[in-house]
């Protein structure tokens, strides 16, 4: 298992690629009046939402749309006679839900050309006096008389929650327009992760190259595997392919989270395998809560919590799951010999471009866009078991793919870092480092079953119980 394998997402977009030169008879010359990268990316982003097929896909996503409908209809006390805002209104379906729930005024904010359609949709459904459309970015609107809203609703989530999300815009809208006692829907979001096998992907796209009309296509197989390793895959992962219980790696309280908190965060996790199999990927997904609970004067609770889940165990959504593909490659015996030092492979690249296959650059910082090899010969980094297999990039074309099999109760670990792009806040650099549980420091408390972690968890639990006993009940 590679001690470190850092992977960058491919945005599948050229939105942040701007040519600075042009070739002609005179060679290269500067192009004046270029559109700034962020502005060009923003314009292309909003233009993409004028494709009605995108909206059909989202509205037809039953778990997604019914979660919003149920969250609004089952918590009508938040909307009746209230002023509310729909950020990124799309076709206006969420605005219609809120108007139907009794909202006094709905501000539907939509930057794409769909804004004109929303106004007609409002008229067609008898809500033209309730739904007011702003054909602008939420950052650019001004409400009448600096009015505040009681609720902000938005479907802002992207793949694995953050990629192509609108969360920064929601925070700006919240800080600008939401009343002190206001509500944000969804109210909380969580990212989950679990090690997984990828039977279908490997069978169809990797192991296909094992035998091609009787010819040896091993080099193509390794190339295919490497191409999968350098960018996350968006796919449906069967629940039975998860090798461990899911772990929450990040929680976002949408009422209080700041833009600064979105720029960079890391999480280290060690967990025990619950189902034996081939450890081929790290599966990511998210859940969102819509918490509309409140209490009346007598202390009786009313309202409800609705959860939208994109987990493999839940009905599938258009977000599916996001998988970081892991590859385990060793050199054949016939390959040239190398020293015994392990290597830590770090694949990084500019947003929107594949990571390079060769590693010949210097140090890469957390948010950097360069490639890097770190020598893994530090003390404690070498192990004789399969977890210390390495990828020699100079010989990867001669490598032999080997399954990394894990057994029940075996502990695996990883460190994941997400760094927001400076050029486009909707894009993130994802770095996943596979950790050796015998060597690396574990977080405290750690939920893995290694003896040291079990002892520490029991000590913390005992201290918490003793602290609870010391609390004096003054009621």
pLDDT for position 40: 47
Q: Which positions are catalytic?
A: 155, 164
Taking only the tens place, the pLDDT of each residue in 387-433 is 333 333 333 344 556 678 999 999 999 999 999 999 999 999 998 99
Q: Are strands 264-272 and 411-420 parallel, antiparallel or unpaired?
A: antiparallel
CATH of domain 1-14+188-463: 2.70.160.11
Q: What angle do CA 20, 21, 26 make, to 5 degrees?
A: 165
351-363 in b/e form (b: 16+ CB < 10 A) is bbbebeeebeeee
Distance CA 83, CA 232 (A): 40
Taking only the tens place, the pLDDT of each residue in 170-203 is 999 999 999 999 999 999 999 999 999 999 999 9
Looking at every residue in the chain, the average pLDDT score rounds to 78
pLDDT reading at 211 higher than 80: yes
Return the minimum-mean-pLDDT range out of 93-102, 372-381, 458-467: 372-381
> What sign for the dihedral angle of Cα 27, 28, 32, 35?
positive
Taking only the tens place, the pLDDT of each residue in 262-302 is 999 999 999 999 999 999 999 999 999 999 999 988 889 99
pLDDT reading at 12 higher than 50: no
| DSSP code per residue over 227-257 | HHHTS-EEE---GGGB-S--EEEEEEETTT-
CA 175 to mean position of chain CA atoms:
23
pLDDT for position 78: 97
pLDDT for position 66: 98
DSSP 204: I
The CB density around residue 450, as the number of other CB atoms within 10 Å, is 15
pLDDT band of residue 326 (cuts 50, 70, 90) is: confident
Task: Please provide residue 229's backbone torsions phi and psi, each rounded to the nearest 5 degrees.
Answer: -75, -20
* Locus of tokens 């939420």: 138
DSSP 258: -
Domain spans in the chain, listed from the N-terminal domain onward: 1-14+188-463
pLDDT for position 454: 86
The pTM is what? 0.77
Number of separate helices (H) and strands (E) present in the chain: 9, 25
Distance CA 346, CA 252 (A): 28
């Amino acid at each position: 298992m590679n001690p470190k394998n850092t992977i960058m997402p491919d945005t599948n977009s050229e939105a942040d690629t701007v040519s600075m030169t042009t070739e002609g008879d005179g060679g290269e010359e500067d192009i004046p009046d270029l559109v700034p990268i962020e502005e060009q990316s923003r314009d292309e982003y909003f233009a993409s939402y004028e494709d009605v097929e995108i909206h059909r896909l989202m509205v037809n996503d039953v778990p997604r749309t019914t979660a919003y409908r149920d969250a609004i209809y089952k918590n009508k006390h938040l909307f009746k006679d209230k002023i509310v805002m729909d950020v990124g209104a799309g076709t206006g379906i969420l605005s219609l839900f809120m108007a139907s729930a009794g909202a006094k005024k709905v501000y539907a904010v939509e930057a794409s050309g769909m804004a004109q359609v929303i106004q007609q949709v409002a008229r067609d459904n008898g809500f033209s006096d309730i739904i007011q459309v702003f054909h602008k970015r939420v950052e650019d609107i001004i409400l009448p008389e600096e009015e505040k809203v009681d609720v902000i609703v938005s479907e802002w989530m992207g793949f694995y929650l953050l990629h192509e999300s609108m969360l920064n815009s929601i925070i700006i809208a919240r800080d600008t327009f939401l009343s002190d006692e206001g509500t944000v829907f969804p109210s909380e979001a969580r990212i989950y992760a679990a090690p997984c096998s990828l039977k279908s992907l490997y069978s169809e796209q990797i192991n296909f190259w094992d035998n091609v009309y009787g010819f040896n296509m091993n080099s193509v197989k390794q190339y295919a595997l490497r191409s999968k390793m350098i960018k996350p895959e968006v796919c449906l992962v069967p629940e039975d392919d998860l090798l461990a219980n899911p772990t929450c790696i990040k929680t976002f309280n949408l009422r209080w989270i700041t833009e600064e908190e979105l720029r960079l965060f890391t999480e280290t996790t060690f967990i025990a395998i619950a189902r034996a199999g081939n450890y081929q990927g790290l599966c990511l997904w998210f859940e969102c809560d819509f918490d509309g609970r409140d209490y009346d004067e007598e202390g009786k609770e009313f309202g409800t919590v609705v959860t939208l889940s994109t987990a493999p165990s839940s009905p599938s959504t258009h977000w599916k799951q996001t998988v970081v593909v892991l590859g385990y490659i060793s050199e054949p015996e016939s390959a040239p010999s190398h020293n015994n030092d392990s290597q830590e492979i770090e694949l990084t690249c500019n947003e929107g471009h594949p990571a390079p296959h060769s590693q010949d650059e210097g140090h890469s910082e957390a948010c950097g866009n360069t490639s890097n090899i770190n020598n893994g010969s530090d003390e404690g980094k070498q192990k004789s078991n399969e977890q210390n297999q390495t990828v020699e990039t100079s010989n990867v074309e001669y490598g032999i793919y080997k399954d990394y099999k894990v057994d029940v109760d075996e502990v695996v670990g990883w460190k994941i870092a997400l760094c927001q792009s400076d050029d486009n806040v909707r894009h993130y650099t994802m770095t996943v480092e596979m950790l050796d549980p015998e060597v690396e420091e574990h977080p405290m408390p750690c939920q893995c079953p290694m003896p040291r972690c079990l002892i520490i968890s029991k000590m913390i639990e005992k201290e918490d119980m003793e602290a609870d006993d010391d609390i004096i009940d003054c009621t």
